[in-house]
Structure 1
Amino acid sequence: MDRPVNPGAAVDRIVALFEGMTPEHVRALDAYYTIDAWFKDPFNEVRGLPAVQRIYAHMFEALDAPRFTVTARIQQGSEVFLAWDFRFGFRNFRRGQEQLVRGGSHLTLAPDGRIASHRDYWDAAEEVYEKLPVLGNLMRWLKRRAAS
């Protein structure tokens, strides 16, 4: 992928990947991320395709039926923002209960349309920690204290 591509077409491809991602896609992420891609979310900050692949592989190992639905997109040249819903199940508790995280991703595209940087924005405290036993009680208490 050496030649410049239409950024709109590249975003369509990326959205299709996120919405249809399976464990098999993890091995083929070099078609979507540059070799030195940077990735950051509330739990990780990594550089390089192998590290990005490990994050996605871990997602499929740790969660039941993880899937993204892109709900909005904003694009200006090589800068892209995707709003999304992430649905999954926990494997260790609340089995069978679907979880929902709402967030967004800021992507910067390389000239060939692959992702050069990917930063996810979502509230880990509200979306994950509050749903965990013990820690959830503490997080809800802290939230109430901060609001009073």
Structure 2
Amino acid sequence: MTQRPFVIRAPLTAAILALALTGCASRADHAQGGYSHLYEQGLQDQQGSSSVSDAAIQRFIDLYSPIDADYIEAHLDQVYAPDLYFNDTLSTIYDRKTLKAHMLKTAERLDYMSLDVQQTWRDGEDVFLRWIMETHFSIMGSEREARTIGISQLRFNDQGQVIFHQDFWDSSQGLDQHLPILGTVTRWLREHP
């Protein structure tokens, strides 16, 4: 009897997971090798400076703490280079103009979002920020809050602008769990390993 629920659940779990993952994938992520290929290509294409100022890192942190449309309009061009690699696990972007539109849309959709940087460390040309992100937003008239952890890997050019930005975080622990259908699926999968 204990095997039957497993047999029924395993295909259902696999089907739900496959559907959720395909629904979240962007067209660019279907490139040869998918997400990891894009990351590896970005690392290869965007060679950074090994002498990054603390001021450049602080400009990046200020852009996200908290996220604000007016601040993005006024400061994003100082923080990010015109050509770049950006992946926040939800979108992959290669130029500043598209990134600005993405961030303005994000700021518009959220009531509040801020990063609290817990630790910063450097490894050659790479700068890593370990953070806690707090987000407030509304879904179908209901106020929601999410608190997630993550790490950003950054590379800067000689002018102190970000040319490579890769976020590592589990969106299912943050925003996804609040979505009407996907949230139910991700919560169920966590509770039924």
How much has 1:127 moved relative to structure 2? 2.0
1:57 matched to 2:107? The reply is no
Q: CA RMSD in A?
A: 2.2
Aligned counterparts of 2:174 and 2:143: Cα–Cα separation in 1: 17
Once the two structures are TM-superposed, the CA of residue 87 in structure 1 deviates from its matched residue by 1.4
Superposition TM-score, scaled by structure 2 size? 0.65
Max radius of gyration: which structure?
2
Q: Which residue of 1 aligns with 2:60?
A: 14
Q: For structure 1, which segment, 14-23 or 123-132, has the greater mean C-alpha deviation from structure 2 after superposition?
A: 14-23
Would the aligned equivalents of 2:67 and 2:107 in 1 still touch at CA under 8 Å?
Answer: no
Q: Check conservation: 2:149, 2:169, Cα contact below 8 A.
A: yes
Shift of 1:108: 0.5
Are the counterparts in 1 of residues 78 and 161 from structure 2 also a CA contact under 8 Å?
Answer: yes
Once the two structures are superposed, residues 2-25 of structure 1 have per-residue CA deviations (whole angstroms, 9 ceiling, x without a partner) of xx9753332133223332542112
Supply the AA of the counterpart residue of 2:119: A
Deviation of 1:102 (Å): 1.5
Q: Which one has a larger percent helix, Structure 1 or Structure 2? A: 2
Greater share of strand: 1
1:3-49 deviations in whole A, cap 9, x for unaligned? x9753332133223332542112223111100002110221001100
* CA 130–30 in structure 1, closer or farther in 2 if over 3 Å, else same: same
Aligned partners of 1:94 and 1:88: how far apart in 2? 16
With CA pairs under 8 Å and 6+ residues apart, which has the higher RCO, 1 or 2?
Answer: 1
Which runs of 5 or more structure 1 residues have no equivalent in the other structure?
none
- Inter-partner Cα distance in structure 2 for 1:11 and 1:71: 13
Give ranges in structure 2 of 5+ residues lacking alignment. Answer: 1-49
What per-residue deviation string (whole Å, max 9, x for no partner) do you get for residues 86-142 of structure 1? 212122247444321221110001111110011111112222222323322221222
Aligned-partner residue type, residue 11 of structure 1: I
Aligned-pair identity in percent equals 25
What is residue 121 of structure 2 aligned with on the other side? 74
Structure-1-length-normalised TM-score: 0.83
1:5–1:112 contact (8 Å) kept in structure 2: no
Q: Structure 1: which amino acid aligns with 2:64?
A: F
Number of aligned residues: 143
Q: In the TM superposition, what is the alpha-carbon distance from 1:77 to its structure 2 partner?
A: 4.1
